[in-house]
Chain A
């Protein structure tokens, strides 16, 4: 599904992500774990073409999409649900969703909208309300739904539980599980360990911009790789070139 090889992102002299290689499979939720500032979000933005890549190769379903800009990546099936939701507060919920399918024909947009309303019933009931009036959890659901409007094969999700109540986190988790069950791959950046344990089959641990461990979530927790990363004990393997 998604293969990222040797992704490096630098801002001037500062390298934020160095040589990241990872995979995400269809129908699964794959986690990217690490402490604040480890490079998780930058990795997602680098994959999605929102920050300049110094090097790296992005392959989606066997198609090399490295040179694609964000618009072409979205059309190829790669959707990003950014940190803090980033809904358009003055647009209605329905308009927010429709922006997610920008560039598609009217018939396709309506068809996808129906799919979203079937999946999230309350969104249909409140579709004419400005998105800015929703609670954090509801905004996150709409943000995820908006990403789904591009009919993606892979959704990149950045901290969906950030700022949400435990109940809202559970609802978001349920929505993500449904999306994966439907065959879409999800690459999840998340600090909420409980959510990661509930959702992710495999995960990549990142520290100081480099991958330090990879495996099933159970293995990573058992080996202490996750706690090391969060507590700042993770070190980059000596053969990584750093």
Chain B
């Protein structure tokens, strides 16, 4: 049982890092950023390529995170920015961007999966009956550190305050002289950094491939809806709940239906709380 819960925690941390990037962008710009999966893919390939070229893992990881940030900002500057006032267009643009990013990876590296080796691949921690693989411990540490940094940015800095203001009332923030477009770019920059973190945390347990992030993107969207659209704290709560639910379902019912448990949970939550666990405009990006 404790091993199942710990596995759920690992899964929840991965969902949290991806979902917070999605919900942040949704909170500030109201865009369902499907292209986030493509950002994760390119960040994972950048990490793999840097490692393959001989860079130490830490440097390769930084290259991957930087790649995620740059690609994410480019999607905002070159595409999303131009449809911000056209809510019907943004999902189509997001899907188109996802295809472009995935096909960029496909053309550059082919469809075959590549393994991302890390210095902690073979490390195993044992606490009583629970086994903790090094890659999963690293995932939890990265998730906790990056989400703590995000919390500090949003709650303690002028940039974070402006971003929360824009998420709650864009027009009122503009009236006060807050540069709105800069907040969009900043949201995508943070989402891209988190996407890069997700890539280096996630890729070692699976393989780097153009479609590696599809499943996790789907789960992350479940998390975003569970937690309440635009709510960062809701996304973290939703991610942990979903991770544990999927892990329990997979262990005690059938692993073939792992994702189905997430959707079942989503239906149950939405029946009770139709707007998600923490969704009000006042909680946007908070």
Contacts and interface: CB of A to CB of B under 8 A. Distances in A.
Interface string B148-172: 0000000000100110110011011
B177 A98 contact: no
Contacts of A89: 168, 281-282
B4 to A, nearest CB: 36
Contact of B177 (A71, A82, A132): A71
A90 B177 contact: no
A99 interface: yes
Contacts of A102: 158, 161-162, 176-178
A91 interface: yes
3 tightest Cβ-Cβ pairs between the two chains A and B: A90-B282, A74-B177, A86-B172
Interface in B233-286: 280-284, 286
Contacts of A119: none
Contacts of A95: 161, 164-165
B166 to A, nearest CB: 9
Contacts of A90: 164, 168, 280-284, 286
B175 interface: yes
A27 to B, nearest CB: 24
Interface in A85-130: 86-91, 95-96, 98-100, 102-103, 106, 109, 130
Interface in B169-208: 169, 171-179
Interface in A58-102: 70-71, 73-75, 80, 82, 86-91, 95-96, 98-100, 102
For chain B, the bracket of interface size reads 20 to 34
Contact of B171 (A86, A87, A100, A147): A86
Given A82-B172, A86-B169, A88-B169, A99 B179 contact: no
Nearest to B159: A102
Contacts of A86: 169, 171-172, 175
Contact of B178 (A48, A99, A132, A147): A99
Interface of A: 48, 50, 70-71, 73-75, 80, 82, 86-91, 95-96, 98-100, 102-103, 106, 109, 130, 132, 146-147, 150
Nearest to B164: A91
B267 to A, nearest CB: 28
Contact of A80 (B161, B165, B175, B179): B175
A28 to B, nearest CB: 23
Contacts of A75: 177
B174 A70 contact: yes
18 contacts: A75-B177, A86-B172, A88-B173, A90-B164, A90-B168, A90-B280, A90-B281, A90-B282, A90-B283, A90-B284, A90-B286, A91-B164, A99-B165, A99-B176, A102-B177, A132-B282, A147-B176, A150-B177
Contacts of B173: 88, 99
A179 B176 CA distance: 18
Contacts of B283: 90
Contact of A100 (B176, B179, B280, B282): B176
Nearest to B284: A90
Given A86-B172, A88-B165, A90-B168, A103 B177 contact: yes
B168 A91 contact: yes
Contacts of B286: 90
Given A102-B158, A102-B161, A106-B158, 12 more contacts: A50-B175, A70-B174, A71-B179, A82-B172, A82-B175, A86-B169, A90-B164, A90-B280, A91-B161, A91-B168, A99-B173, A102-B177
A106 B156 CA distance: 12
A150 B175 CA distance: 11
Nearest to A90: B282
A106 B280 CA distance: 30
Contacts of B158: 98, 102, 106, 109
A147 B177 CA distance: 10
B164 A88 contact: yes
Nearest to A99: B165
A89 B174 CA distance: 16
Nearest to B283: A90
A24 to B, nearest CB: 18
